[in-house]
A and B are shown apart, each in its own frame.
Chain A
Amino acid sequence: MWGRRGKSASVRHAQVARPINERGAAHTADLLIGEDGTVGAQGPWTLAHLAKLERRLDAVTWPDRSAVTVDASRVTALDSAGAVLLLRTIRRLEQEGRPISVDGLRPDLAALFDTIRTTWDRLAPEAPPSAQNWLERLGHLVWTRLATSGTALSFLGESATALLRSVTAPRVLRWRALVTSLETDGVHALPIVGLLSFLMGVVIAYQGAEQLRTFGANIFVVDLVGISMFREIAPLVTAILVAGRSGSAYAAQIGTMRVTEELDAIRTLGLSPMHLLVLPRVFALVIALPLLTVYADGVGVLGGMLIASTTLSVNFPEFLSRFEEAIALRHFVIGVGKAPVFAAIIALVGCYQGFQIRGGVDDVGRHTTISVVQSIFLVIVFDAFFSIVLSWWDV
C-alpha cells in the first residue's frame, strides 16, 4: 500500500514543480469521438479545466451504438471534480439506456475515480425541490406572525412583573449596571444630542425667518422656535438618536450574550436576565432620555436665538422676554413628559430583539437593525398618538 502511495506522490510531483498560476495548462482536457465510434478522453480533467469541458460534453454527439466505452488512457490528471463530471455523463447516458464504461485510466487516477464513484452511487438521484403552494406559505406566514406577537406580549408581561418586583423590593435592582448604563447612554450622548438639536434650532429659525420678515412679524420667531422645539423636535430628535445609539447596542449586547451562552449561564446561576440586563437598561433610559430632552430644548432654543439675532435682528434680551410670555410651561412639560414613554419603548424593543436572536452571528446584525427600525417606528407612532390625544384635550 505504501508503495502505491509513493508512486502517486511522485506522479503529482510534476504538478507541484510548476509555477502556481500555470497549473496543468499543458494540454486541454477534451473528449474526442472517433469516426469509428471510439470515445477517447484526454488531458487534465481537473477543476481548472472543467468549465470548458462541461460545455464541450454538452455539445458532444455520442456514437449511435448500444454500449459505449470511454478510453481514458490519455487522461493526464483527474481530481474529484473531473470524476464527478465523468460520472454525471455516465449517469445521463445510462438513463438514455446506453451502458457506458470507462477503461484504461491510470492506476493512481483509477483509485480516486473509484472512491468518488462509490460516494456518487450512494447519492440518491436528485429529488425535485418540493414547491410550497400559496396556501401553505400563507399559513406559515400567519403562524409565525402570531407566534411573534405572542412572544412579544410575554416579554412585555415578564418585564412588567419584574418591574413590579423591583418597585416592591428595590434591592433586586442592579444599581451598578444602572449607573453604567446612565453614563454610556446618557452622559456620552450629550455631544451628539447637543450638536443636532442646536442645528435643528438653527434650521427652524432660518426656515421661519423668510416668511416672518415678509409680514414684519420678526418677533414671532420666538414662538416658532420655542414651541416646535419644546413640544416636538427636541423629544423626537433625542429619541431617534438614542434609538440608534443605545437601542441597537442593547440588541447587540444581549444577542451576543445569547450566542456566547452567557444568558444560559445567568439562568443556571439562578439569576434572572430580566433583573440583570433588562431592568437596569430600561430604568437608565427612562431617567436619561427626559434629561437629554431638557438639554436638547435648551441648546435648540439657543440655536434659534443665535439666528434670530443675526438674520431677524431680534436680540437676546428681546428674545428672552418674549420667550417668557409666549411659551407656556405646558409645552415644556408635554415635550419632556413624552420622553420616558419613548425611552421605555426604545429600551424594551432593543432588549426584546436581543432575546430573539437564535444561533448565528448574522442574526445579531439582523435583529440589531430590526430593533432600530421598530423603535423609531413606534416612537413616531406614539408621538402621533400623543398629538391626537392632546388636541382632543385642547392643550
Chain B
Amino acid sequence: MVLAAAQTGSPLIEVCHVCTRFGPAVVHDDVSLTVHQGEVFAIAGGNGSGKSTLLREILLLKQPDSGSIRVFGSELSRLTDAETMALRRRCGVLFQHGALFSSLTVAENVAAPLREHTRLSPDLIRDLAAVKIALTGFPMESVGKFPSELSGGMRRRAALARALALDPELLFLDEPTAGLDPMSASAFDELVLSLKRSLALTVVMVTHDLDSLWRIADRVAVLGNGHVLGTGTMEELAKSDDPVIHEYFHGPRGRSAMEQAWKQK
C-alpha cells in the first residue's frame, strides 16, 4: 500500500549515472536513483559511503564529476543563476548540526529567509516565523534565545523551522536524528511525518538511524562501495541477499530495530 502511494507521484529528483571522485578515492561509481513526489525517500549506508556527498550534489553545493541530476525536471548543470535561485527557494534543508546563524535569535533565524526573499510586512513575517516555529514543536518562550543557548534537540527543531520558512516542496534532512536521545529522535520522526502529511512535502533524508528508517521511510536507497546496492521499501531491503545490505539490516542493531518495527505493525 505504501508502495502504491509512493509510485503515484511523478519523479521529483532523478540522479542518473553520477560519478564522484575525491582525488584517487572514488565516492560514487555510477549512482542512479529516483525520488517521487510525496514520498519519504531515505539514503542509507555506512560512514563514508557518499550519502552526504550525494545530498550536497543534489543541493548544488558540489558538482559531480560526471552524470546528470535533475530536480523538478531541470538538469542542474544547465541552470542559469535565476533558475538556481528559484530552485533553491523550493527546497528546504536541515543540516546535520542545524547550521543556525549564531548571531541571530531563533525567531530571527526563521524570519531571515522570508526577509531576504519576500516583500512581506515585518508583522506578517513575524507571524509566519512564529507559526513555523510552533509547527516544529519548538517552545515558543525560547524564540528569543540564541542557538548557542539551546539543547541539541531544540536546535534541530529551530533549524527545521528555518528549513520550512519558504514553504518548500522538497525537504532535505541530513542525519536528522543523529545525536538525539531515543525519545527526541522518535518524536522528531513523528514530527517529520506529520509535517510531510500536512504540508504535502516530499522528504529526502540521509540517515543511518535504522529506527527512523523503519518508522518513516517510504523507500530507501542503500549506498555502498560507490554503488546503489539496493532500492526499495524496508521490507524489500530486509529480504535482500546483498552481503552489505544483509549485514546492515541483520547486524545486532538492525535486528532489534526490525523486531521493534514488526511489533508496532
Contacts and interface: CB of A to CB of B under 8 A. Distances in A.
Verify that A and B bind, or say they do not: yes
A359 B146 CA distance: 9
B156 to A, nearest CB: 17
Given A23-B86, A362-B102, A108 B74 contact: no
B10 A80 contact: no
Q: Which of A2, A8, A20: most chain B Cβ within 10 A?
A: A20
A71 B130 CA distance: 27
A16 B198 CA distance: 18
A8 B199 CA distance: 10
B151 interface: no
B5 A112 contact: no
Interface in A257-274: none
Q: Which of B1, B10, B126, B167: most chain A Cβ within 10 A?
A: B167
Nearest to B149: A359
Contacts of A102: none
B26 interface: no
Interface string B162-205: 00101101000000000000000000000000000111100000
Contacts of A361: 102
B59 interface: no
Nearest to B39: A9
A360 B148 contact: yes
A5 interface: yes
Interface in A352-379: 358-363
B86 A20 contact: yes
B127 A17 contact: no
Given A5-B197, A16-B12, A359 B87 contact: no
A13 interface: yes
B37 A13 contact: yes
B5 A5 contact: yes
Interface string B1-25: 1101100111010000000000000
A54 interface: yes
Interface string B87-103: 10010000000000011
The A contact surface, by secondary structure, is helix
A9 B103 contact: no
A357 to B, nearest CB: 10
Contacts of A51: 118-120
B72 interface: yes
Interface in A25-58: 46-47, 50-51, 54
A60 B103 CA distance: 39
A9 B119 CA distance: 29
Interface stretch (A120-128, A215-223, A340-348): A120-128
A203 interface: no
A173 B140 CA distance: 50
Interface residues of B, number: 46
B87 A20 contact: yes
B199 A123 contact: no
Contact of A84 (B37, B124, B200): B124
Contacts, number: 122
A360 B147 contact: yes
A6 B197 CA distance: 11
A85 B135 contact: no
A214 to B, nearest CB: 57
Q: Which of B72, B74, B200: most chain A Cβ within 10 A?
A: B200
- Give chain A's interface residue range (CB within 8 Å of chain B): 35 or more
Given A51-B120, A112-B199, A122-B134, A8 B148 contact: no
A21 B37 CA distance: 19
Given A126-B126, A362-B103, A108 B200 contact: yes
Nearest to A53: B120
Given A2-B5, A23-B86, A16 B131 contact: no
Contact of B120 (A13, A54, A359): A54
Contacts of A112: 198-200
A21 B9 contact: no
B82 interface: yes
Interface string B131-150: 11011000010000011110
27 contacts: A2-B1, A6-B4, A9-B37, A9-B38, A10-B8, A12-B37, A46-B167, A47-B166, A51-B119, A54-B124, A79-B199, A80-B128, A80-B131, A80-B135, A84-B128, A112-B199, A120-B131, A123-B130, A123-B140, A124-B140, A359-B102, A359-B148, A360-B103, A360-B146, A360-B147, A360-B148, A363-B148
Interface of B: 1-2, 4-5, 8-10, 12, 37-38, 72-74, 82-83, 86-87, 90, 102-103, 118-121, 124, 126-128, 130-132, 134-135, 140, 146-149, 164, 166-167, 169, 197-200
Given A84-B124, A120-B134, 10 more contacts: A8-B200, A9-B200, A16-B73, A21-B83, A50-B118, A50-B120, A88-B124, A116-B135, A126-B126, A360-B103
Interface of A: 2, 5-6, 8-10, 12-13, 15-17, 19-21, 23, 46-47, 50-51, 54, 79-81, 84-85, 88, 108, 111-112, 115-116, 119-120, 122-124, 126, 358-363
